[in-house]
Amino acid sequence: MVETIVWTNDGVVMIDQRLLPREETFFTARNYREMEYAIKEMVIRGAPALGVAGAMGVALGVQAGEDFDTVCNTLAASRPTAVNLSWGVQRMRALKAALGEVAREELVRRMIEEAQTTRSEDIAICEAIGKHGADLVVDGKTVLTHCNAGALATAGYGTALGVIRAAVSAGKKIDVFADETRPFLQGARLTAWELQQDGIPTTLITDNMAGHFLKSGRIGCVVVGADRIAANGDVANKIGTYGVAVLAKENGVPFYVAAPVSTFDLTIPDGSHIPIEQRPELEVTHVFSEQIAPTGIRIENPAFDVTPNKYVTAIICEHGVARAPYTESLKALAATKK
Ligand code: MRU
């Protein structure tokens, strides 16, 4: 399986997700400013992967002797919606505070170690999510997914795609419908590529086909990832997720969200408090540098939407499966010890 992000002696090496599936090129962030660039420009993306990138970015800054608070604040602000990014940075802040006054060499060593642990833990967490979610996947049916919540969006294995991988490993005969996910095309470029590499039967559909197939009776369930989940179970995920969730409910298809506890934001009561990132107009007016809309047309490009909890059948995390009322079930799962 592809290495999304690794710490090396030369810097943090990431597969450049802007270029997939045409090119498998790697981008190396040698300092925290290059990591900020990689996050903003979507060299690396996907909530859990951003958590690891945030932690590794802080380690780069500490290694170079940069001002700690500036590094942390810059990285945490580089993308606003996925709470995992500030979670990864906060983890490094907490370690620094716990270490107190230590020699510089020791601080650098511990920061690098912690950032690498964030990565290895994420893979184990995704595998646990997969195990909990595999039972929910209907044998012999199609799973529909939106965006990319796979190995590329995490340190490895994936959340929503982790559930699919685990269901396949458990012997379930399933296939996948991947929404292309306009405008950044994470479904077409990344999910389709990842699943094809694993030999999991996958069909690519455009976003506006989801309703048609959800009505057809072929889809056993929808599984998506998340960028931030509020205390009441409202879920922020890639733009278009809300529409899929409504269509799933209308057609009696279960809608599952797979995400680690680091995606829970129990400090906010509901989804209205989730900041929604606005991305550049160019992502809508152009497809691979080709202009597809008239010059000067007004553009909106929110990168995420919020699905109200009433459309969410269950939330799968590394500690188990949460169901409504989420205010209680999410709190209980978040408090589960590792
Ligand atoms: O803008 P992106 O590509 O970072 O958005 C990614 C998503 O919305 C994913 O579905 C989400 O982060 C979950 S990834 C396991």
How big is the CA angle at 23 (ends 159 and 166), to the nearest 5 degrees? 20
pLDDT at 136 over 90: yes
pLDDT at 2 over 90: no
Atom 15 of ligand 1, residue of closest alpha carbon: 149
Atom 5 of ligand 1, residue of closest alpha carbon: 46
CB 238 within 8 A of CB 307: no
- How many A from CA of 114 to the centre of ligand 1? 23
Measured CA distances, 291 to 74, 120, 262 (Å): 32, 41, 38
The class level of CATH for 5-126 reads: mainly alpha
Give me the mean pLDDT over the 314-320 stretch.
98
- What is the distance between the alpha carbons of residues 118 and 120, in angstroms, rounded to a whole number? 6
Reported confidence tier of residue 133, pLDDT bands at 50, 70, 90: very high
Q: What is the pLDDT of residue 291?
A: 98
Q: Which amino acid is located at 41 in the chain?
A: E
Q: Which of ligand 1's atoms lies nearest the C-alpha of 158?
A: 15
- What is the distance between the alpha carbons of residues 289 and 191, in angstroms, rounded to a whole number? 22
Do the bridges between strand 290-291 and strand 286-287 make them parallel or antiparallel, or are there none, so unpaired?
A: antiparallel
- Residue 209 tokens, joined: 């086909």
Q: What is the pLDDT of residue 317?
A: 98
pLDDT at 97 over 80: yes
Give me the mean pLDDT over the 8-37 stretch.
98
Token pair 């990842």 in the structure block, residue: 194
Measured CA distances, 208 to 144, 175, 181, 205, 211 (Å): 13, 19, 10, 8, 7
List every span in the chain annotated with CATH 1.20.120.420: 5-126
Q: Please indicate whether residue 227 is annotated as part of the active site.
A: yes
Question: What are the backbone angles phi and psi of residue 202, rounded to the nearest 5°?
Answer: -135, 140
- What is the distance between the alpha carbons of residues 245 and 307, in angstroms, rounded to a whole number? 7
Which contiguous run of DSSP H or E holds residue 179?
strand 175-179
- What is the distance between the alpha carbons of residues 205 and 21, in angstroms, rounded to a whole number? 17
Q: What is the pLDDT of residue 79?
A: 98
List every span in the chain annotated with CATH 3.40.50.10470: 131-334
Give the pLDDT confidence of 263-275 residue by residue, as tens digits: 999 999 999 999 9
- How many A from CA of 68 to the centre of ligand 1? 27
Looking at the domain 131-334, which fold is it?
Rossmann fold (3.40.50)
Contacts of 33 (CB under 8 A, 6+ apart): 74
pLDDT at 76 over 80: yes
Q: What is the pLDDT of residue 165?
A: 98
Measured CA distances, 171 to 4, 135, 223, 254 (Å): 26, 11, 18, 21
Farthest-apart Cα atoms in the chain, separation:
63
Give the chain's mean pLDDT: 97
CB 194 within 8 A of CB 148: yes
Q: Exactly one of 207, 227, 234, 265 is catalytic; which is it?
A: 227
Give the pLDDT confidence of 191-249 residue by residue, as tens digits: 999 999 999 999 999 999 999 999 999 999 999 999 999 999 999 999 999 999 999 99
- What is the distance between the alpha carbons of residues 186 and 199, in angstroms, rounded to a whole number? 19
- How many A from CA of 252 to the centre of ligand 1? 25
Burial of 292 (0-12, 13-18, 19+ CB in 10 A): exposed
Which contiguous run of DSSP H or E holds residue 178?
strand 175-179
